[in-house]
Amino acid sequence: GKLKKANSLPMVLFVANNDKWYSDITFFLTYGECPTHLTSKEKRTVNLKVARY
């Protein structure tokens, strides 16, 4: 695990593996926005996937 600070709140990020998809969803759930490298279609997919969380 690695301790990060975002928006003045400490965030503990645990990465279970090197799966890019997992990393993108973790990024979205942590920062509330999609990673900039995603296409608009991929951003929409991430938004739909994380809606259940």
Ordered DSSP codes for 2-31: EEEEETTEEEEE---S--HHHHHHHHHHHH
pLDDT for the residue 10: 47
**Residue 50, token pair as written in the block:** 């994380």
Task: Supply the pLDDT for residue 39.
Answer: 93
Residue type, 45: T
Task: State phi, psi for 8 to the nearest 5 degrees.
Answer: 65, 5
The reported pLDDT for the residue numbered 44 is 92
Which pair of structure tokens corresponds to residue 12? 């503990």
Residue 46 pLDDT class (50, 70, 90 cuts) = confident
Q: What is the pLDDT of residues 1-44, one digit of tens each?
A: 555 555 544 444 554 455 677 788 888 888 988 889 999 998 89
